[in-house]
Amino acid sequence: MPQYQHIMLAVNFDENANILIEKAIQQSRSEQASLSVIHVEYLTGKPYNGMFDTNTQKTNLIIEQSSNDAMKKLLANYCHPIESYSQCHDNLTTSLTEAVKKYKIDLLILGHHRHSWLGEMLTSVSEPVIRKMPCDILLIKVDK
């Protein structure tokens, strides 16, 4: 009997995206679970007083549309249905947690990059996600 009903892959567009997509599809098929994908996107920040005048909202909208199109194009190469596409930005932990609750995800798949010991202490993105996530998490090691 399958353990998971709805799996979500959190992915950004780097050289490891295809590895993560293939693993997520394999997991989805073996569990007979639906698969959703959330793209982790880093948007431009809010301007501070005194900064040059820029329309970050328009820029962010262009970035979101471009990444949404790229995600659908990338996933079209795989013959596997995708239940939902979404994007995650701003606070990674909060955005992922909200998406997991909204789509009733019971397994979140993340890629994990190896860092130096100093990098792990100072920049661990996965640690708060692991601590606060309301579902199971599968970390896939992508640097071998």
Instruction: Look at residue 138 in the predicted model and tell me its pLDDT.
Output: 94
Instruction: Look at residue 22 in the predicted model and tell me its pLDDT.
Output: 95
Instruction: Look at residue 127 in the predicted model and tell me its pLDDT.
Output: 78
- Give the domain ranges of the chain: 6-141
Fold classification of 6-141 is Rossmann fold (3.40.50)
pLDDT, averaged across the chain: 82
- Using alpha carbons, list the distances in angstroms from residue 129 to 31, 83, 92, 108, 139: 23, 22, 8, 10, 11
CA distance 82 to 112: 22
Write out pLDDT tens, residues 56-67: 677 777 877 887
CA distance 116 to 114: 7
Model pTM score: 0.80
What does R_g of the chain's alpha carbons equal in angstroms?
16
Strand partners, 121: none
Write out pLDDT tens, residues 11-20: 887 888 899 9
The rounded Cα 44 to chain-centroid distance in angstroms is 18
Q: Look at residue 70 and tell me whether its pLDDT is greater than 70.
A: yes
Write out pLDDT tens, residues 1-52: 679 999 999 988 788 889 999 999 999 999 999 999 998 876 545 555 455 5
